[in-house]
Amino acid sequence: MKSFLLFSLLFIMSYQVSAQPELSKSQKILNKLSKKMKGLKSFYLEYSANIKNEEMGQNDDYSGKGWVKNSKYYATYGDNSIICNGIKTWTIIAKDKEVYESDNSDDEDGINPKKLMTIWETGFKNKFIKEDKISGETVSVIDLYPKNPKTADYNTIVLYISKSKNELKKAVMKSNDGTIMTYSVTKFTSNPEVKDTKFAFDKKNYPGYKVIKN
């Protein structure tokens, strides 16, 4: 009787394990990329971007760079830049000679290099679309859809992930107001040496700028 009960228990347990849903192709790809990104102490990237909204007549191109180290990052976009030391964030607008200071938690809706490289991890469903080519390199095309569309900033995000390098090559972000933001990563470096001073804001470096605290 005990042998029968033990056999039954083992059968039920093995059935439960085998009945677990297999991860989708897109989730496997994203998990692999997340594992790589979480294993990095730091990274550096260069990118080009296009912001387009036909209804508003907007079609702007710019380029930038980004350094990320743990929760800290420094990014440039055109003539502007963002500095985050993990606690505070400073958004520097060169044209207006203004610096907007805020708590790091208040900047969750903004796009920065750290968020761009992990945006798929929370709040989105995903679906594998196809394989494609970018500059001769094979990429996996994955669509992200918000789990809560009513509160999401984007209705769709399309990711292009290198099969051979396991790196994000491009992200196309379609917002609810019709704006389409395309970010193309032109260079990516894993674990560069980055000093913490890179992520420290010093007002002396911005003479004549007005600091506005949000």
Q: Is residue 126 one of the residues assigned to a domain?
A: yes
Whether pLDDT at 112 is above 90: no
Q: Is residue 85 one of the residues assigned to a domain?
A: yes
Q: Is residue 200 one of the residues assigned to a domain?
A: yes
Domain hosting 123: range is 23-213
Q: Is residue 165 one of the residues assigned to a domain?
A: yes
Q: Is residue 13 one of the residues assigned to a domain?
A: no
Q: What is the DSSP string of the chain?
A: -HHHHHHHHHHHHHHHHHTSPPPPHHHHHHHHHHHHHHT-SEEEEEEEEEEEETTTTEEEEEEEEEEEETTEEEEEETTEEEEE-SSEEEEEETTTTEEEEEEGGGGTTS--HHHHTTGGGSSEEEEEEEEEEETTEEEEEEEEEESSTTT-SEEEEEEEEETTT--EEEEEEEETTS-EEEEEEEEEEES----GGGG---GGGSTTPEEEE-
CATH number for the domain that contains residue 92: 2.50.20.10
Count of structural domains, the chain: 1
Q: Is residue 190 one of the residues assigned to a domain?
A: yes
Q: Is residue 88 one of the residues assigned to a domain?
A: yes
pTM for the predicted model, two decimal places: 0.84
Q: Is residue 9 one of the residues assigned to a domain?
A: no
Q: For residue range 76-87, what is the model confidence (pLDDT) as tens digits?
A: 998 999 999 999
Mean pLDDT of the chain: 87
Q: For residue range 146-190, what is the model confidence (pLDDT) as tens digits?
A: 999 888 888 999 999 999 999 999 999 999 899 999 999 999 999
Taking the C-alpha atoms of residue 200 and residue 90, their distance in angstroms, rounded to an integer, is 9
